[in-house]
Structure 1
Amino acid sequence: MKKFSEKQILNLIISRFGFQNIEPYFGKDDISILPLNSLGSGLHGNTLLAVTCDMLVEHTDVPAKMTFEQIARKSMVSSVSDLVSKGVKPRFALISLGLPKTIKNNEISKLLDGFTLSSKDFEIDIIGGDINESKEIIIDCCMFGSLSSKVNVPRRNGAQVGDFVIVSGIFGYTSPGLKILINNLPSPDNHFKTKSIDSVLNPAPSYKFGLLLAHYFSSSTDSSDGLAAALNQISSESNVNLLIDEKNIPVPSQLRQFSSINALDYFDLIFYGGEEYHMVGTISEKNLMKVSKILKNQQLDIFIIGKVVRGDGQVFILKNNGNTKVIENRGFTHLA
């Protein structure tokens, strides 16, 4: 019997322990949203509590050249990205640390410096946590936000036929960056090398974009597991097909050259890298017109990469040569 994957285990937890009486909020997507009055009498019924958590494990999530400050920041970025991709502002965090006996005091101080700087950057108060001994660095970040029940929270199952498929950033830096760091692969130029490595060591969630625009979306998620995984989650849960146009995907100009000189698959670098933390979603034509003014005033970019069409939950890419290719539902996952 094949071993359960990360996603399958999470789905089993939700199905077994989820609070059925407060659906559709509990355990959906990458965050759980609970009406506060479900936690006890006397709490305001119009306020929702949004919660998410993410665990960083050194041997799977930390490249060799990442500093302790960067490790701390990365451990918070995943949870921040999960919340802001739903339009929820992160407010508080609990940070639990598993630390090896061999870690030095100055290294612990650098970790704490990273948490301090990141909490200021994302305007989050760290309100507690736990410390334990482990064989390697393990950081679990549990993050909280709140929102009104009257506000639209885009889910992964809300895509409608006719919607546009959008992304908030450029794809194709993190996968090369990781390969450059681990395998010292050659790069087309120093600019591409620097940008690629920085995308791995200093990941940035679509913070401002998500908080300002997510409520206009019919569906959304982030690309932490890869663009292909994000698109397939939306298409399968919405029971529609997504038709992506290759020429509209924002990629670095040097990516094809990087793939060529290293004999790597160009589309793998775009779709299956992961940890880019861009927002991926769908939006109606009417709402796209509404957000155009916000985009201009806030100097934000939005990239329309395709359309939602009738179907049974698949993702297709229209290649520049006119051929159509299925984008497989795979990406980075633990226990796979």
Structure 2
Amino acid sequence: MKKFNEKQILNLIVSKFGNKNMEPYIGKDDISIIPLNSLNSSSNEVNDDKFLAVTCDMLVEHTDVPPKMTFEQIARKSVVSSVSDLVSKGIMPKAALISLGLPKSLKNSGISKLINGLSLASEEFGIEIIGGDINESKEIIIDCCMFGTLSSIANIPRRNGACIGDYVVVSGIFGYSSSGLKILMNNLPSPDSYFRKRSVDSVLKPYPSYEFGIFIANYFSSSMDSSDGLASSLYELSKESGVNLLIEEDKIPIPSKLKEFLSINNLDFHDLVFYGGEEYNIVGTISEKNILEISKVLKLHHLKLYIIGKVVSGNGRVFVLTSDGNKKLLKNKGYTHFT
């Protein structure tokens, strides 16, 4: 039998342990939402008016740490992944539990730098680190379990909420992180120093779409982050919602020098833009009505939203209109463990 990949293992866990009596947010949405019964002191009635949002993400050195990443950056990246999961749903992160697996060979200076990186990340994103666990391991492993609270789940976008006629939107540029990883791994030439620095920085110090998520995500009909790749995210939204997505290749925001980088290194556009991953952008769908409603919010907070396609009828596939006018089925691939 063919070995399970990451998503198949996750689906198996959800099928075994998903609690049908709880908010159906377990597993597939990267976050889980738990109702908290709060006691009304005046009437002694129990009200389900508070919810706890929980997510966790594990960083493993040999799969998640690229060359030249410092200990501080390793620790920060472990926090960024969980921040991105929460803010893609419009939920502000509040606290985290951090568990460390550390090899015996790691020097005291390395341990101190990891702790310092966690401290800096907690300050950067306003998160209290409230505990965790430490164990011995063969390589650096950091597990971050992060929490946020909310008073209502009415406007939290799921992956299955995309409706025919909605716009497909993204919060940022695609292509820098894939380019940066190839530069770090293979020392590839770059069009100019700015492209090289921006690409490498996007790998070593990724930034989640924090403000965009907090102020805009609640207007979405569906959403998730793009940490596993743009194509993978688009397919998740289309399959969960039971619709097709039609993406216009020319509307995807990319670096101005990306095509030059592709040309001089003989690389493929789709590999870097659709299949690379770890941009930590938000990918979502939004109605035409809400597009109009958020224009003032975007302007007020100096945020950009990029419309890259439409939601159309179908059964979970993603098509791309290429620059030459052809309509092609996009491959469903991205970064997945155990593949």
Unpaired runs of at least 5, structure 2: 39-43
TM-score for the superposition, normalised by structure 2: 0.96
Distance 1:139 1:222 in 2: 20
Letter in 2 for 1:65: K
Aligned match of 2:41: none
Amino acid at match of 1:207: Y
User: Size of the alignment, in residue pairs?
Assistant: 334
Q: Deviation of residue 37 (structure 1)? A: 3.0
Question: Is the deviation greater in 144-153 or in 188-197?
Answer: 144-153
Equivalent residue for 2:179, pick from 176, 182, 194: 176
Matched, 1:321 2:324: yes
- RMSD across aligned C-alpha pairs, in angstroms? 1.4
2:25/2:31 contact within 8 Å kept: no
CA–CA distance in 2 between the matches of 1:63 and 1:44?
A: 47
Q: Does residue 153 of structure 1 match 2:160?
A: no
Match of 1:290 among 272, 290, 293: 293
Alignment partner, residue 145 of structure 2? 142
Structure 1 residue 44: Cα displacement: 4.5
Deviations 1:68-101, CA, capped at 9 Å, x for gaps: 1000000001100000000111111000000011
Q: Deviations over 1:18-63 (max 9, x none)?
A: 111114233341101111139xx98751111110000000011001
Report if aligned partners of 2:102, 2:135 keep a CA contact under 8 Å in 1: yes
Change (3 A) 1:30 1:190: same
Which residue, 202, 206, 211 being the options, matches 1:203?
206
Structure 2 residue aligned with 1:312, among 315, 318, 334?
Answer: 315
Return closer, same or farther for 1:150/1:230 CA change in 2, 3 Å cut-off. Answer: closer
Post-superposition CA distance 1:116-139 (Å, at most 9, x none): 111011110000000000111000
Q: What TM-score does the superposition give when structure 1 sets the normalisation length?
A: 0.97
Residue identity over aligned pairs, in percent, reads 68
Q: d(CA) in 2 for partners of 1:150 and 1:24?
A: 11
**1:65 aligned residue (62, 68, 74):** 68
1: CA distance, partners of 2:132 / 2:45: 27
User: Aligned partners of 1:159, 1:26: CA distance in 2, in Å?
Assistant: 19
- Do the aligned partners of 1:47 and 1:149 also contact (CA within 8 Å) in 2? yes
SS of equivalent residue, structure 2 residue 48: coil
For 1:33, the equivalent position in structure 2 comes to 33
Question: Residue 113 of structure 2 is aligned with which of 110, 115, 119?
Answer: 110
2: CA distance, partners of 1:58 / 1:72: 11
1:48 alignment partner in structure 2: 51
Partners in 1 of 2:37 and 2:49 — Cα distance? Answer: 8
Q: How far did residue 328 of structure 1 move?
A: 1.2
SS in 1 for 2:116: helix
Equivalent residue, structure 1, for 2:18: 18
Alignment partners' CA distance in 2, 1:206 and 1:68: 23
Distance 1:271 1:196 in 2: 16
The answer as to whether partners of 1:99 and 1:136 remain within 8 angstroms in 2 is yes
The whole-number CA distance in structure 2 between the counterparts of 1:335 and 1:44 is 43
Tell whether the 8 Å contact from 2:23 to 2:33 is kept in structure 1 after alignment: no
The separation in 1 between residues aligned to 2:46 and 2:295, in whole angstroms, is 37
1:190 maps to what in 2?
A: 193
C-alpha distance in 1, partners of 2:293/2:133? 44
Q: Which moved more, 1:104-113 or 1:17-26?
A: 17-26
